[in-house]
Structure 1
């Protein structure tokens, strides 16, 4: 069976993960959507923007499967039962924010693309969804948990960066804020609950110092990966980093442009600064 994740162990207190940059489309996907349209759901090239991180001693976790097949940044209860041919036996989400994403067609298994195109012209079975969870969701979260645990054990603290990209303008089905023109970066810590807000503020300030516009917790606060793998009171800090794709690629062709290398250099400096800080000393 093909590998679904790629991991690299670290030696520092820093962990990075890229949950949405996968491009290995499984044979059992069975989608009816134009592959070129599906590819727009990917956080294209994010794994390349951060490919320097393991050499600096940061742990790395990367999903190889596409986000539209299964979104590891959703909880396993966020099942869109309208996709299923038979009954779902597990619990389903009741949290309003989670339900809002499911209604948009962006639950654990996507129903539609960012512009509302249906992904399937068939029903999925509950067993099929469970198999995706077993093959993709659990290994990914287990790998992030292990990397965070090991980093914390080595140093007594850890910083987890959850790495994403976003379109320049929010699509109709991508968010609760359709048509929003995004900042260059959105830093999210679920309103200060997944990381010390002082650490998040430092990240925002450093990025602004590079000349970027930065939004904090709007419109993206962070979702399941930062929620599940953080505990700021125990010195486990998780921050979601969203990068505007216009900074480094042509959103129509997906090709990197001349902004790619300067952005990567700034991300390299950002990671180096995080490696040099102990969040326990923030005052």
Structure 2
């Protein structure tokens, strides 16, 4: 069986991961949804936008499976129990914010697409969900943990950028703000709890200085990957960075357009700037 996670270790303080750009749809998915509709759930081409990272010594982690199969930016307790054919043996999420996403159909295993189309015409067995966790979630988190631990051990601090993309306009079941027109970038640190606020401000201003519109912690604050690994008091900084897909692709055809290469070049400049930035020196 192939590995579902790519992990390329680095030598710098920087760690990048792309949890939602996978395009390898497993044979056991068993969905009833139009594959073309499912593909719109992907963070399409994000892995290509950052493909320079390993050359710069930046650790890189990438999910090969699609987020609609298993969303690794969710905790294992973020489950829609109505989707299961039996009782879940583990703990279930109780946080109201988390449960609001589950009710939208966007838990660990998605119930519906961003526009509300059902993904399954069946209930999933507890065993198959556990198998997805074992094959996908567990190795992904192990890789991110290993990369951050190694970066922190080498340099005394780590900067983890959780790489995502977002549609130009939020669909009905994507967030709690359907119809919102997104800025070019959204920087999320869960209200300053997963990264130094000074570092997040620096990132926002760097992007604005290149002419981009930027939102901070709205409508995306960051979810499980930054929550779990961000510990700014220990000089472990995790930031979720969302890129508007209109900047680099046609959202209807999923094809890259002329904006792709200029954006990729500026992301490389951003990464290079982060490589020489010590967040311990920011005010």
TM-score (norm 2): 0.99
Q: Distance in 1 between matches of 2:162 and 2:210?
A: 20
Matched, 1:181 2:181: yes
* 1:246 alignment counterpart: 246
Matched, 1:2 2:2: yes
Q: Distance in 2 between matches of 1:177 and 1:207?
A: 24
* 1:105 alignment counterpart: 105
* 1:72 alignment counterpart: 72
Q: Distance in 1 between matches of 2:85 and 2:237?
A: 40
What does residue range 1-283 of structure 1 map to in structure 2 within 5 Å? 1-283=1-283
How far the C-alpha of 1:145 sits from its partner, in A, is 0.2
Q: Distance in 2 between matches of 1:251 and 1:70?
A: 22
Which deviations, in whole Å up to 9, do the C-alpha atoms of 1:195-219 show, x marking residues without a partner?
0000000000000011000000000
TM-score (norm 1): 0.99
How far the C-alpha of 1:229 sits from its partner, in A, is 0.8
Q: Distance in 1 between matches of 2:69 and 2:89?
A: 20
How far the C-alpha of 1:147 sits from its partner, in A, is 0.1
Which deviations, in whole Å up to 9, do the C-alpha atoms of 1:38-92 show, x marking residues without a partner?
0000000000000001101100000000000000000100011011111111111
Paired residues, number:
283
How far the C-alpha of 1:36 sits from its partner, in A, is 0.3
How far the C-alpha of 1:2 sits from its partner, in A, is 1.6
Ranges in structure 2 where 5+ consecutive residues have no aligned partner: none
Which deviations, in whole Å up to 9, do the C-alpha atoms of 1:133-171 show, x marking residues without a partner?
111001000000000000000000010000000000000
Give runs of ≥4 in structure 1 deviating > 2 Å.
none
How far the C-alpha of 1:230 sits from its partner, in A, is 1.3
